[in-house]
Amino acid sequence: MFGKRLRGLFCVAATLFVLSGQTRADEPGVTPDSISIGAFGPITGPAAYIGLAGRDGAIMAIKEINAAGGINGRKLSMTFEDDGHSPTKALAAVKKLIDQDHVFMIFCVAGSNGTLGTIDFVRENGRVMYVSFASAPGVTWPFARNMFRGGTTEVPRYGELYAEYLHDYLNATKIAILNGREEYPKNEGDALTAQLKNWYQIAPVKRAEFNIGDKDFTPQLLEIQGADPQVIAIFGNPAEAAIAMRQAKELGMNQRFFVGPTMVDQGLLSAAKQSAEGTSGFALIPLLPTSSNPEMKSWLAKWKQEYPNLPAGRPNTFDLLAYADIFVVADALKRAGKDLTTDKLIAALEATHEYRVGAIATPRTFTKKHHIGNLRLQAMQVRNGEWEPVPFESKRESDILKRYE
Amino acid sequence: MTWRIILQLALSGLSIGSIYALVGLALVLPFKASGIVNFAQGEIVTFGAYLALILSGLGLPYLAVVPLVLIGAAALGMVIERLLIRPIVNQPEFTLVMVTFAIGFIIKAAIRLHWQDNTFSVEAPFVGPPLALGALRLNPAYLVFILSTVAVVAALFVFFGYSRFGKAMRATALDPIAAELMGIRIGSVFSAAWALSTMLGAFVGLLLGPVIGINPEIGHLILKGLIAAVIGGFSSLGGAVAGGLLLGLLETYAGAFFGATFKNLVPFGVLILLLLLRPQGLAGASSARRA
């Protein structure tokens, strides 16, 4: 009798042991001493300033975390793939990371263009994808348990902030939009157009588009000039925006410029120079790398120690965003515990409330209802050749989270 | 659309067309001499811009930078021709095309290793406030683009028409075997054609860098240069210039009338139409070899 019970107990224990062992063994990318993160973004092509910075910022954070003991006894490792800012290449990169490299989760430092190519696959696959930069609505809407957005915010939120800033703070009612034809700048232009209509019942006086790599914007600028706007909102990459700004001044256009967050950076200023004076826009980070804030100075010193030979213009916004977001992920991984699973990571991320690595980052909050980590942007303006904070605070209640209720 | 806008667009189209024309010329030169289309020509533009950036960083004024960049580019052209092209010059055209593509990728990748994709600028004396021509505005840099193209075409006309070496290049282009039998050192002619071509490419980089900023994609002009050359007939220097200017004007007016989508569509449509009606291009001989 006793022998039978003992055998029964042994069988149950053995089954539990095998099952628990199976759970750990089946969790890809997690070994007793490491957690493998797959990352992708553009490190070649016109948007490489995003991916290179994202990769470097993330690697620096991982090194710091590992040097401090890692995550519950495990070290983080990262495998990086180039997406060339292309949706198809991004999908190939993510499939490789998941199917061949068997990573535990995906950390995305791609732009919206690349990210959009991966969304359907990742949603279906169920692996956690933490998106640091892309603002395309499809990342977080419709809601998916495994998709998170960190440093950037959902593009309709851009629309809200842009519209409020332009209409209420700059008192502009005649606004022209000049945007690139790729996903991200087009989304920004759409969001501003929609929000100007929703909140203020006005439409842009002119909307024109350009292609990546364009070197002449005269046709678009002459169209805009004819509409006589008070502000010209430009959405795209700094290289094209700088040319457009210079050509606008050459055509005698004295309107103020407003730009998207990818351009609130030193890159635009070094290319556009005097033409950028007075330009305003929103930054995704509370402090730019040029800030004299002691925390930023200390971070900058660490960064320069890690990357002593990188060129002018770096670190940029994306170094900072990726760095801060890896810490958000690491914090959740710690709270997810030693027996790490995708479900536990999702639960830990959803419990993240106002977490930030320091003054260099905006706080991130996720809930069970929404996975938009950040709704705050910092208004900035170019004064004497430098981006400086503007005392603008949003007074209108955001509509973005209502749809998740 | 007012006359002012139409004329303003013409100025803009001619200035960007001048850049396409110079790239087109840089493509036609080695093709005429050795029958090879250099698909790395866009990256030669980039090379010129970055060499200017390096030299400016050393404190040299723009006017001192220009000859040094041209000398550096000529040296690069001769090295490419002597070490990479000449050993395989008798291989199938596809092999040669792939080699020039590879050269371009290597140049761009090497640049990215150090400068990544950040945008830089260099100071140049022709960058300044716009000139007012009545109601029209003209960026002095664009005037420099147009005048430079005119000067380059005139110089090439004199070189090919009256200089001994220029005539040797023309003879080699017509019949390399006969030219060699007449005592022309065709190896030197090939080297010179490549040197001239890379100098032209780097010259475009020198012109563009101060105006639009320097990044690894500054030389993203190969397709436009190719269209300019094809419109012109690929064997005619004057044709390449005409093709470049026509392309610049078409692109600018298409953008103004139909929007950004059609800015690229219309020139390609015209290219196809032109090739259907006149496969040898505007100024090419009917026996011109296909690129």
pLDDT tens string B226-279: 889 988 887 788 888 999 999 999 988 988 888 777 877 887 888 888 888 888
Q: Tell me the CA end-to-end span of chain A in Å, nearest whole number.
A: 57
Q: Would you call A404 helix, strand, or coil by DSSP? A: helix
Residue in chain A nearest B105 by alpha carbon: A44
Inter-chain residue contact A270 with B119, CB threshold 8 Å: yes
Is B181 in the A-facing interface, judged by CB distances under 8 Å? no
Integer Cα distance of B206 and B197 in angstroms: 14
Using a CB-CB cut-off of 8 Å, the residues of chain A touching B139 are 247, 250
Inter-chain residue contact A181 with B259, CB threshold 8 Å: no
State the smallest CA–CA distance between residue A356 and chain B in angstroms: 28
Is B137 in the A-facing interface, judged by CB distances under 8 Å? yes
Q: Would you call B214 helix, strand, or coil by DSSP? A: strand
Taking one residue from A and the other from B, the number of pairs with CB-CB distance under 8 angstroms is: 110
Spell out the residues 6+ positions from residue A7 whose beta carbon is closer than 8 angstroms to its own.
Answer: none
Contact B42, B108 (CB under 8 A): no
> Quick check: ipTM above 0.95?
no
Is A208 in the B-facing interface, judged by CB distances under 8 Å? yes
Using a CB-CB cut-off of 8 Å, the residues of chain B touching A309 are 114
Using a CB-CB cut-off of 8 Å, the residues of chain B touching A226 are 5
Spell out the residues 6+ positions from residue A270 whose beta carbon is closer than 8 angstroms to its own.
Answer: A312, A313, B118, B119, B120, B121, B213
Inter-chain residue contact A208 with B259, CB threshold 8 Å: yes
State the smallest CA–CA distance between residue A210 and chain B in angstroms: 5
State the smallest CA–CA distance between residue A218 and chain B in angstroms: 7
pLDDT in tens, chain A (405 residues): 445 554 554 455 444 444 444 444 468 999 999 999 999 999 887 778 889 999 999 999 999 999 999 999 999 999 999 999 899 999 999 999 999 999 999 999 999 889 999 999 999 999 999 999 998 889 999 999 999 999 998 889 999 999 999 999 999 999 999 999 888 899 999 999 999 999 999 999 999 999 877 888 988 998 899 899 999 999 998 888 988 998 898 888 999 999 998 889 877 887 888 889 999 999 999 998 888 899 999 999 999 999 987 766 789 889 999 999 999 999 999 999 999 999 999 999 999 999 999 999 999 999 999 999 998 899 999 999 989 999 999 999 888 888 887
Q: What is the pTM of this model?
A: 0.75
Is A16 in the B-facing interface, judged by CB distances under 8 Å? no
In chain B, alpha helices (H): 3-34, 41-57, 62-79, 93-115, 140-162, 164-174, 176-181, 186-212, 222-232, 237-258, 260-277
Is A312 in the B-facing interface, judged by CB distances under 8 Å? yes
Contact A152, A133 (CB under 8 A): yes
In the Cβ-directed half-sphere of A267, how many Cα atoms lie within 13 Å? Answer: 31
Which of A48, A242, A252 has its CB closest to that of B117?
A48
Inter-chain residue contact B137 with A252, CB threshold 8 Å: yes
Contact B190, B180 (CB under 8 A): no
